[in-house]
Every structure is written in C-alpha cells, then in structure tokens.
Amino acid sequence: MNFICLIPARYASTRFPGKPLAKLGGKLVIQHVYERAQACFETVYVCTDDERISKAVADFGGKSVMTSSTHRSGTERCNEAYSKLGIDADVIVNIQGDEPFIHPSQLEALKNCFTDLSIEIATLVKPFSETDGLLALQNPNTPKVVFDENMNALYFSRSVVPYLRGVDPSLWLTTHQYYKHIGIYGYRADILGKITTLPPGQLEVAESLEQLRWLENGFTIRVAKTMIETVGIDTPDDLKRAELYLKTLKV
C-alpha cells in the first residue's frame, strides 16, 4: 500500500505565532516532526502557507509544498497539497506540525488500520489513566472519543463522554475507561477529496471539531489505540513543558 505523509504547518497561529519555527532542544519544532515522520514514510512533505517555514524546511533538507492561507483546517491544507504534488497514493497521513514527539509505533498503528480495505479514515486514541486526574479529563482542549466494538468512532467531544449518571465525578476515572483523541489522521485518497468539499455541520460548529463533520455525513472513522503520550505544542507554555519532556527522553 502506498502511503504519503503530509505535515500541515502555518505560521499565523493565534496562541503561538511562528510555532513551527520555535526551537526545541536546539532544533526546530517542525524538524522534529519531519524527522519522526521519515522513520515511517518514504514520502514526506510539509504543507504550509508561509515562505519562512518553506525555507526552514529546505534548510534542514526537507521538502515542502506551498498552499493557500485560507484553509480552515489541516485536512483542507493536506488536500490541496496532495492535489498539487500529483503523487498517486492509497492513503494520505496527516501529522500536525506541532507534534514533535509522535512515535513510529503510533504511525504504524495508524497505517495498520488500512489493511482493512473498508476503512475510509483512521485516527489514534489513548486511554486516560487514573493518574491523569479529573481536571485533565474535563479539559475542553483535550477532545474525548467513544467508539463501538469494531473500533469505529461514535462521537468526539470536548465534554466528558460518556457522562456517568449517579457516579460522583471524582470516581469517573476509576469507574470507566475514558479515551482522549490524538489528532493524527489517515485518509484514503478519494475520501480526502470528498470530506473537504463538505460544508460544516451543526456538531462541528458546536464543538469546533472537524471530524464531527465526517461522522455527520456518514463516513467511518476507525480508531487505533496507543499507550504512548504525545506532547503537542499549542502555546509557549507547552513549549516549556516539551523542553522538560525532551530532557527526560535523553536521560
């Protein structure tokens, strides 16, 4: 099966402008992501709307493709990049440019979903642990996901799902296994083209989660479990935490 990996990266982040070009352990955040992607994919491109990012990628020996600045999501950016590249692929994998600690085993788990030819879209989930604590479970910046016995997503939410009726919230993590969503996707090439033409649905607008648009329109999202924690970077404070985490990996 032919996979390509695309890494959407934009400069104008509201909470952290220039995030892909921030230094982490002496190396650009986007370079960390790119090099980890190369461990699992022969073809890797950064798709960006900023010449500064494109130049930085070229400087460390990577490849990039310029895309529009009007895209509402990384999925849309990946679709334009794939169309521009003119490369035939069975599956396009989207790794966000702020995931410098993505692990090869996670990417292989995502790829393995597509051995089932019926799978249209795949993503990753990680179990919450009791040590994460209730505040982490309730954090709206960490989407939760519920899925069926076939590992197909039923719903994604910024709220805690399911709500355990009659159980004190302090006991939720000891009573039920919750899962957090890790926003890395794989799409069949034809499906990527279809989902990017869909208008936003009511659920997506309500939760600000693009994957709900796909579910609303009847697409299937297969989830694969990972036990590895990722440290995404959304803010300067996240970068500080990532520096500390990087030091633990080098010990």
For residue range 182-192, list pLDDT tens digits in order: 999 999 999 99
Confidence of residue 121 (pLDDT cuts 50, 70, 90): very high
**Residue 93 falls within a domain, yes or no?**
yes
Give phi and psi for 108, each to the nearest 5. Answer: -70, -35
**What's the domain range around 46?**
1-102
Mean pLDDT of the chain: 95
pTM metric for this prediction: 0.94
Considering its fold, how many domains does the chain have in total?
2
What pLDDT, on the 0 to 100 scale, is given for residue 232?
82
Q: Are residues 81 and 171 in the same domain?
A: no
Domain end among 102, 125, 158: 102
- Count CA within 13 A, CB hemisphere, residue 9: 35
What pLDDT, on the 0 to 100 scale, is given for residue 251?
45
Q: Which residues contact 139 (CB under 8 A, 6 or more apart)?
A: none
* Average pLDDT value for residue range 225-244: 88
Q: In CATH, what number is assigned to the domain containing residue 58? A: 3.90.550.10
**Residue 244 falls within a domain, yes or no?**
no
Q: Are residues 133 and 81 in the same domain?
A: no
**Residue 250 falls within a domain, yes or no?**
no
Q: Are residues 171 and 85 in the same domain?
A: no
* Average pLDDT value for residue range 219-224: 98
**Residue 238 falls within a domain, yes or no?**
no
**Residue 51 falls within a domain, yes or no?**
yes
Per-residue pLDDT tens over the stretch 134-176 = 999 999 989 999 999 999 999 999 999 999 999 999 999 999 9
